[in-house]
Structure 1
Amino acid sequence: MFCNPFSRLKRAGVVGMNRRNADYVLPNNPRKLYPLVDDKVITKHLAQKAGLKVPELYGVIEAPHQVHKLGDMLAGRDAFVAKPARGSGGNGILVITGRVGQRFQKPDDSLVGLDHVSFHVSNILSGMHSLGGMPDKAIIEYCVRFDPVFNEIAYQGVPDIRIIVYKGVPVLAMLRLPTRESDGKANLHQGAMGCGVDIATGVTTTAVWKNATVETHPDTLRPISGVTIPGWRELLLHSALGYTVTGLGYLGVDFVLDRDCGPLMLELNARPGLAIQIANLTGLQPRLDKVDAVADRLTTEEERVDYAMQTFV
């Protein structure tokens, strides 16, 4: 007997892109608030005002005639990240992890010169990596050194944590792990892994890589599940604060754990992707419905996080 796969997904509570946009993004994310999260420079300043820690900003290049300042901006710095202010999907991010003489070292140990960095920044300014292809700004910031808790399950780059927040309540979380294929970037579209994280405990559960469920990291060959993310409740509280400071009711909040600085907020996303459901083997719909039923009674970040940790087990 033929079984409609879309019916199965609906019964499992999986939210598709059309429903996400129509039922959650459009009603809960006023268009006028999008600039708060679409421009990473604005987001960084907003987060700092709210008391959230973010990667240190070294400088912003806003126009082609400023590219020549890169040499001075990077003087004495062994590591940094250059990325577009309005980038999407992890595109346009250049990660530099060290120096060898006058050249810069990438996560895969290849070496590039200042001319390569300048060319990359020029491409960012042209809008090559921005939303809608519009001219952009280039952010030069601190390169995160990931927490040793991830040593055995990440390859070269920095893992990050995505938390979906609905009406201020964290509802689903995922750890994104760099691989050799993703060139050290924690972006699923570029070959990174997605690993579900239990909201109640902060412990990793199931994992997906290239749309297939897996149990070990493809490069380190170490088991993915059972890793406890330190300071989990603090991360949930910070993610709930993202709703408070932006007013966006359906939000993706991304964090990294730095070995020296602790949790740092990377960015906010008004249109977070849906692969997080696959990583968790859990549909979003039942959790969103539960939040709808109680959201009016939850007035603080602490109450929202307590509800999430007690309910989504």
Structure 2
Amino acid sequence: MRGMLHMYLTQLFGEIPYITTTDYLQNKLVHKTPEKEIYERIEQDYLVAEELFLKGTKNTSKTRLNLTSLKTLKAKYYAQTKQWEKAKQHANDVIQTAGVTLEQDLSKEFLKESKSILWCFSPHLATGNSLEADVFMLNALPPAFVSLKPTFVNSFEKGDQRKEIWIKKLNNNQGTWYQPYKYKAPNASSTVNVENSVVLRLAELYLIRAEANFQLSNFREAENDLNLIRKRANLPMLSNLSQHDLEQAILDEYKHELFTEYGHRFFDLKRWNRLNELQNSIPTWKPFMEKLPLPEKEILLNNNLKPQNDGY
């Protein structure tokens, strides 16, 4: 868990302290850790966790971290650090041996019984559901917080069942809006737990393996993994794409499969060095925005966190 949290934090902020103690006297004076060292520590945390899982009692609960979810986190880590053979190996390990399969019915993908879920958070109430549903489901129009851009909705291929099942169109006399609809069970009216907050699911591993195969020049193998994802979305199979078109196809499948899940689009574009393409859709985008500003409150409490990230 510590490795995963620092993974997200350094992807968002760049250099951050790597916190290894609960001692507030030490933590209030921490310094930034170089990114290279952060990634080394993340890997070390994962390796220690793997050793402990192998020694301990086998846990198969999807609401607790276990060896399967750890291997998935390692696959994500090795993709992020561009260690493609290791990324492919860890994705393979889970796909081939974890006893999970792609959920073919997309309407069931985010139900707690989904065949694809690798790790999820259960609600704090036995009759509760996901926090995501509370955030994304629109109770009034126009939306108070969030909706999907029409340009994103229109980027799906014709017939893509992910658009049909995971996006809901709402309108009134003021306009039309698109609601993320992966989670369909709100907490407010919930009497039974049917959905949990999904953190890791199998489809991402097929995409990681496709990306790793692409980077290793195994282009047809990459196509095969994309086609497994596309088939369940009722899309035509890809065949003999050029290297350029295959790269774009991988990014498009990430985009359409993992939207509204843990900032994937931002991290994916960043990993592929394509963040500046956001200038096409976000006129205010600037290259320095690839890193978020360090929270001002934290800098005021601890001068060791200076300097602020460039541009802020």
TM-score, normalized by the shorter chain, greater than 0.5 = no
* TM-score normalised by structure 1 residue count: 0.27
* TM-score normalised by structure 2 residue count: 0.27
Greater CA radius of gyration, 1 or 2? 2
Structure with higher strand content: 1
Structure with bigger RCO (C-alpha 8 Å, 6+ apart): 1
